[in-house]
Structure 1
């Protein structure tokens, strides 16, 4: 029998002091490097104040009609209510639906969301009117939404050309993936095929493997033996796409309000569901830590970009002679950066994995729009009072952000002195249905 959610106080928000410190570090140490080396034009990503203060985001991805919208309805208890997200056997969700907390139920058009700078979704305006017509916001009063924002996405349809969507699908997905605290990749037993769109999504999630959770939904539609075969087939399909030693957690259950089918492993499904809800709780509890880690990861990418531009610039000036054609010199460097050890030298200096470096082709396009002569060497980016850009961002990555994280951890550990006696019952999961 499926259980009922328990009400709980979710009034906790980001403390103003922590927000101000995080905001100060970003604006003084990270953003100046972004601007000096035009990072926004490389990744189309800069961190706004609204994004720093935003709630955790849970992103639902997967093929069409696998139960993404139904799962959201189930988590929020929207079944048989006027707010229920529409579901069906055919591809039903063609929009990006952002479900947020509000004092009353209302729908917000994408163009309004993008025009509101107080929201973390204002940068989506850059993807054009075609996309904004496919973006919908839904506000409603709900305890879970006080602490988290849910995003439902259009289903992956492998036989459709991406240009038929009318907007840059991969770029939009990348925007949401970069900001997601948890990514639910949902499948059902009948849709395990891997095509070009899904392969592209996994490439875009490179470096975000710890945020991915794979959901094998509608599991009670299968007999136990068939479910074991499907589970194996799912791993076989996903293995080539996930380049990590430890695979993502796979949850096997049926996320809807109906009772599990008879003659199925109902105990396992219930345990899997509770485990997933605890995973969601953990993301909510770790909101502040995740936000600091997000800003630090962004800072590392900005620093790597600045070092790469600096190395390209250094190589350019070393190879540029009195009578050489500047365009030809840089064309040779951009065409084969490995010959000049550009990426290898940065890899050694930045202390990052080679998998975290952008592809050389990305910089070919970047410098095609931004001539290398328009940048200054990092060693010259220093001021008498402001210090050097490189040292400031390295201090933020190596000292300031870790110290902020440590102070938060110490504050969380302080109440442990008042723990309850061991004989008391362990607190129940906040969202467990009883």
Structure 2
């Protein structure tokens, strides 16, 4: 296949992917569930030959003989000589030096960007060179470190089998080298062959140095090799086996020289026609990826459609709760409810989109829906937070009806939020309350980026922690002196950091200062907050 024809087809595939498949992947976040998006290098890269095998089986010699050119990193010997994964790109022009792995994975014109996932241990062993071969252009070969019987991935410092699997996926032809003197399939050879599962159609076996073995012995060697491969490669037919001596030295006198020459010509012809196989492989990969992305998008669309009517964690969205949500929607509070952004022992919080109520709600664009759970166990010992308050003079429900208890608790949070907003305390503004469903402001810049809890907030400096501590203390002062409330359970878990300022949440258990336990709860809040900031910024003591 001509290089111009090859370039035109790959450019067409790349354009098709960008126009048809990539928008679907971006809308459905397909890359977060599967592999990253394809790049120009995945389409316009050369056909790839991936060489594997034990040490000193002739992989590097095969590359040297095929290209008929020396290149940087080329070394041959009876001992293990290839220590790196070496990518040899055959292109027009003068030979270029070695490109180290850290730089090679950043080249957008090459399909190696995802190799960074294997870490620095691998990248330090990954190199790329460009050569001008008189025989080939627009071809890439990958020479690999020889497989050693006593070497594991842990000893190598990277996942050898994982790298082999990735490169096999990118390759158009996989050549696995053996010779007549190294037929044992040790643990790492078997692991590498297992890593090539699903790629058996591209796998070819090369039995090298065959002229150094007598014809009788060669038959036994070939039978042993096929027997051993059959125990590892579980396919109806074994891969094609090329037998010969693949280097630039004439064959030794041997009765099977004609067989060696024939297999050498067949292998050379398969390499020459690799452009067609590369186009087919890229087209198949693109169709497979498009089908997967399309199915993923359909599943997400179905889940999104079903989200408002599906029961979620702990049975929070039961039929009665769904009916309440539908009433709030009908009153133009919001258009639909998305998935959970926070779960707790007492309630779940959802994001509601399409706020069409008041001017404040429309400006917010997103809001929060807090649905209190109806488990009676969750609300034990809650009477201590309402006893003695004039707002609950009739007392907290102690009957066996958990819904009444939940409704009172939700009402208490709604009242406390409204009271705190009136006094200028930073809390989510309440919009509406219906039974145990509370509609309020959403703290966050986006649906995917809710405001973090103080526990998970990462302050840049000690000074920032000190500023937040002062603001939290001022907020507690506002609660006590102006709103006449004590939070009762204030800690790093009940404070959000939104746009650099602390916001108080979960105020259902907040009590009036007239409550007999108010000062005890205030002291506990002070201890919890001060202890957290003392750990973070190492100032002050942990005493209240």
TM-score, normalising length from structure 2? 0.52
For 1:348, the equivalent position in structure 2 comes to none
For 2:94, the equivalent position in structure 1 comes to 104
Superposed displacement of residue 145, structure 1: 4.0
Counterparts of 1:128-143 in structure 2, within 5 Å, are 128-143=119-134
Q: What is the CA–CA distance in structure 2 between the aligned matches of 1:101 and 1:263, rounded to whole Å?
A: 34
Q: What is the CA–CA distance in structure 2 between the aligned matches of 1:314 and 1:170, rounded to whole Å?
A: 41
Secondary structure in 2 aligned to 1:75?
helix
Counterparts of 1:94-173 in structure 2, within 5 Å, are 94-102=83-91, 103-106=93-96, 107-173=98-164
For 1:186, the equivalent position in structure 2 comes to 177
Superposed displacement of residue 82, structure 1: 6.5
Counterparts of 1:209-220 in structure 2, within 5 Å, are 209-220=200-211
Superposed displacement of residue 301, structure 1: 4.9
Out of 267, 282, 307, which is 1:276 matched to? 267
Superposed displacement of residue 161, structure 1: 2.1
For 2:187, the equivalent position in structure 1 comes to 196
For 1:87, the equivalent position in structure 2 comes to 76
Q: Deviations over 1:111-133 (max 9, x none)?
A: 22122223222332332222221
Q: What is the CA–CA distance in structure 2 between the aligned matches of 1:200 and 1:32, rounded to whole Å?
A: 38
Superposed displacement of residue 205, structure 1: 2.0
Secondary structure in 2 aligned to 1:236?
helix
Secondary structure in 2 aligned to 1:115?
coil
Q: Deviations over 1:328-362 (max 9, x none)?
A: xxxxxxxxxxxxxxxxxxxxxxxxxxxxxxxxxxx
Q: Is the 8 A contact 1:10 1:144 kept in 2?
A: no
Secondary structure in 2 aligned to 1:98?
strand
Q: Would the alpha carbon gap of residues 41 and 242 (structure 1) be closer, same or farther in structure 2, given more than 3 Å must change?
A: farther
Secondary structure in 1 aligned to 2:6?
coil
Q: What is the CA–CA distance in structure 2 between the aligned matches of 1:201 and 1:184, rounded to whole Å?
A: 12
Superposed displacement of residue 70, structure 1: 0.7
Moved more, 66-75 or 308-317: 308-317
Q: What is the CA–CA distance in structure 2 between the aligned matches of 1:139 and 1:148, rounded to whole Å?
A: 10
| Aligned: 1:59 with 2:50 | yes
Q: Would the alpha carbon gap of residues 172 and 32 (structure 1) be closer, same or farther in structure 2, given more than 3 Å must change?
A: farther
For 1:258, the equivalent position in structure 2 comes to 249
Question: Which of the pair has the greater relative contact order for Cα pairs under 8 Å at 6+ separation?
Answer: 1
Q: What is the CA–CA distance in structure 2 between the aligned matches of 1:186 and 1:310, rounded to whole Å?
A: 48
More strand by share: 2
Superposed displacement of residue 134, structure 1: 0.8
Q: What is the CA–CA distance in structure 2 between the aligned matches of 1:185 and 1:266, rounded to whole Å?
A: 22
Counterparts of 1:387-406 in structure 2, within 5 Å, are none
Superposed displacement of residue 55, structure 1: 1.1
Q: Deviations over 1:339-394 (max 9, x none)?
A: xxxxxxxxxxxxxxxxxxxxxxxxxxxxxxxxxxx9xxxxxxxxxxxxxxxxxxxx
More helix by share: 1
Superposed displacement of residue 281, structure 1: 1.8
Out of 284, 296, 310, which is 2:287 matched to? 296
Secondary structure in 2 aligned to 1:206?
coil
Q: Which runs of 5+ in 1 are unaligned?
A: 1-8, 327-373, 375-434
Q: What is the CA–CA distance in structure 1 between the aligned matches of 2:32 and 2:149, rounded to whole Å?
A: 29
Q: Is the 8 A contact 2:179 2:209 kept in 1?
A: yes
| Aligned: 1:228 with 2:219 | yes
Q: Would the alpha carbon gap of residues 104 and 130 (structure 1) be closer, same or farther in structure 2, given more than 3 Å must change?
A: same
For 2:40, the equivalent position in structure 1 comes to 49
Counterparts of 1:229-378 in structure 2, within 5 Å, are 229-302=220-293, 323-324=314-315
Count residues with an aligned counterpart: 317
For 1:361, the equivalent position in structure 2 comes to none
Q: What is the CA–CA distance in structure 1 between the aligned matches of 2:175 and 2:163, rounded to whole Å?
A: 17
Q: Would the alpha carbon gap of residues 74 and 302 (structure 1) be closer, same or farther in structure 2, given more than 3 Å must change?
A: farther
Q: Which runs of 5+ in 2 are unaligned?
A: 318-349, 351-544
Q: What is the CA–CA distance in structure 2 between the aligned matches of 1:286 and 1:275, rounded to whole Å?
A: 15
Q: Is the 8 A contact 1:70 1:85 kept in 2?
A: no
Q: What is the CA–CA distance in structure 2 between the aligned matches of 1:41 and 1:266, rounded to whole Å?
A: 54
Q: What is the CA–CA distance in structure 2 between the aligned matches of 1:158 and 1:316, rounded to whole Å?
A: 53
Q: Would the alpha carbon gap of residues 144 and 104 (structure 1) be closer, same or farther in structure 2, given more than 3 Å must change?
A: same
Q: Is the 8 A contact 2:105 2:113 kept in 1?
A: yes
TM-score, normalising length from structure 1? 0.64
Q: Is the 8 A contact 2:68 2:134 kept in 1?
A: no
Superposed displacement of residue 137, structure 1: 1.2
**Highest CA radius of gyration, 1 or 2?**
2
